[in-house]
Amino acid sequence: MTIGAISSGASAVSAGLWWSALSASNVARAGAASALEDEAPAVARVQFAERPGGGVTATSTSERGDSGEARDTLKVHEPDNPLADARGYVQRPGIQTPGELAEMLIASAFVAANLVTVRTASEAYRSAAKLGVEKTERS
């Protein structure tokens, strides 16, 4: 049971780190402009799934519409931008930086909580192993 808790906690730590990395990637791309005819970068999101035998895995998904276009793309008037069309427009991903920073904070707390789980389970395992050795030595 303790080994299962360690494994589950470790998988959650890994998933939380992935979550944080995706949010950081979104923040890094928040200001990226692209030409209107180009494919705009989509907002990346983490998707969690239960692992067989316990634990969790994380994968990334992108927020795209039914026809494959990035959702929440912003059309911005920037006539001096070299990527602007004839009317002076470029597109930017609809990434909300404050929301992404909040996601990173939540992911950080998720990682910290699961590290406590791993540490506690590991200490319990060591204590149980030590008790088993002491009992064997007395016999």
In tens, the pLDDT along 39-50 reads 777 788 889 999
| pLDDT at res. 77 | 95
Mean pLDDT of 84-105: 92
pLDDT class of 131 with cuts at 50, 70, 90 = confident
Specify which of 25-34, 37-46, 101-110 reaches the highest per-range mean pLDDT: 101-110
User: Could you write out the DSSP letters of every residue in 19-35?
Assistant: HHHHHHHHHHHTT--B-
Joined together, the tokens standing for residue 14 give: 């890994």
**pTM of the predicted model as reported, rounded to 2 decimal places:** 0.76
Indicate if the pLDDT at residue 2 is higher than 60: no
| Separation CA 16–CA 73 (nearest Å) | 27
Residue whose entry in the numeric block shows the structure tokens 């895995």: 57
Joined together, the tokens standing for residue 15 give: 């998933």
Higher pLDDT, 124 or 135: 124
Mean pLDDT of 36-60: 85
Higher pLDDT, 131 or 100: 100
Phi/psi for 91 (5° steps) reads -115, 150
Mean pLDDT, the chain, as a whole number?
Answer: 85
